[in-house]
Amino acid sequence: MDIYNFGKELIVEAGKFIEMRMTKEFQIDSKSNPNDLVTDVDRETEQFLYTKILERFPDHLIIGEEGHGQNIQDTKGVIWIVDPIDGTLNFVHQGENFAISIGVFIDGEPYCGLIYDCMKRDLYHAKYKNGAYLNEQALLPAENIPLNQSLIAINPKRVLGEETRSPFFKIMAESRSVRSYGSAALEFAMLAKGQISALLFLRLYPWDYTAGVIITGELGFKTSDLYGRELPLLSSSSVISGNPKIHSEILEYFTGDKRLYEYHEKIHGS
Ligand code: 2AM
Ligand code: CA
Ligand code: CA
Ligand code: CA
């Protein structure tokens, strides 16, 4: 079995593990601040993915949000970038609306992207240059809907700061309306399905976006940071993803805002 088919089976198996595990008690801890939560289920699911991948492919590398592969410095070889639960707050508060997200890269080049909405049992998947699918069904190409006719996804809590609010609020005001679903991976999935036309984040990590970028890229959606630069595989980044029209419209809002640019470079450490 190739990596893609193995990955599709693995992510569904990990989804079953989460479903089983969430019927029992689990511990909830906070990480960087009291609203940044992690549970035993996040950690155990990452360990589950790690063990299964290495059992099958002992020479592959794994980077995960909950601690695996944080020492990886270059993109040589086969790298699995995994988020065991994307949308931990939804997992804790709602018991649904979370996903497993996996992006696979070979020597830094995209290979496949997988997003599994565990509770809905929906698998979004794409092998690079082979189209994108929801379960067995091919997803349709991006439509060039402009900002003023679009629903867009932004997490308002993350852009309230003095440095950030001006361009983000202008974009929200220009849009048809704003949504915030609490899982970057599922927001990429909604983009792929045509339910929203763009998503914006000030800060995400490769495990949040690599699967989504590969899947939506197959459909003609564009993704970059706020300044039009390609997203990194080994460090955090801001993210704008959308159809080509709205993507270029949104980029305009960020050009020339020196204060935000300086803040942006500071939080992303470059
Ligand atoms: P997580 O649930 O895996 O942590 C919520 O708007 C989205 O942003 C989720 O995809 C969430 O991923 C991510 N996110 C939440 N808190 C974050 C943080 N402190 N830093 C970066 N990303 C975060
Ligand atoms: Ca997290
Ligand atoms: Ca995440
Ligand atoms: Ca996570």
Nearest-CA neighbor of 186 among 127, 118, 136?
A: 118
187 lines ligand 1 (CB under 6 A): no
Are the C-beta atoms of 204 and 184 separated by less than 8 Å?
A: yes
Instruction: List, in order, residues 6 or more apart from 59 with CB less than 8 Å away.
Output: 77, 78
Ligand closest in space to the Cα of 64: 4
In ligand 1, which atom is closest to the CA atom of 186?
A: 10
Residue 270 has pLDDT above 70, yes or no: no
Going from N- to C-terminal start, the domains of the chain cover 3-138, 147-267
State whether ipTM is beyond 0.85: yes
Q: Which amino acid does the sequence have at 112?
A: C
* Confidence class for position 269, pLDDT limits 50, 70, 90: confident
Q: CA dihedral defined by 228, 231, 232, 236, rounded to 10 degrees? A: 90
32 lines ligand 1 (CB under 6 A): yes
CATH number of 147-267: 3.40.190.80
* Confidence class for position 30, pLDDT limits 50, 70, 90: very high
CATH class for the domain made up of 3-138: alpha beta
264 burial via Cβ count (<10 Å: 0-12, 13-18, 19+): buried
Of 82, 88, 90, 115, the one to substitute when testing ligand 1's pocket (max ligand atoms within 8 A of C-beta) is 88
pLDDT tens digits for 81-135?
Answer: 999 999 999 999 999 999 999 999 999 999 999 999 999 999 999 999 999 999 9
| Mean pLDDT for all residues in the chain | 97
46 lines ligand 1 (CB under 6 A): no
Ligand closest in space to the Cα of 155: 1
Provide the pLDDT for residue 117: 98
- Please tell me the distance from the alpha carbon of residue 63 to that of residue 80, in angstroms, as a whole number: 6
Provide the pLDDT for residue 72: 96
pLDDT tens digits for 189-203?
Answer: 999 999 999 999 999
90 lines ligand 1 (CB under 6 A): no
Are the C-beta atoms of 220 and 244 separated by less than 8 Å?
A: yes
64 lines ligand 1 (CB under 6 A): no
pLDDT tens digits for 137-190?
Answer: 999 999 999 999 999 999 999 999 999 999 999 999 999 999 999 999 999 999
Residue 148 Cα to ligand 2 midpoint, Å, equals 32
Ligand closest in space to the Cα of 156: 1
Provide the pLDDT for residue 76: 97
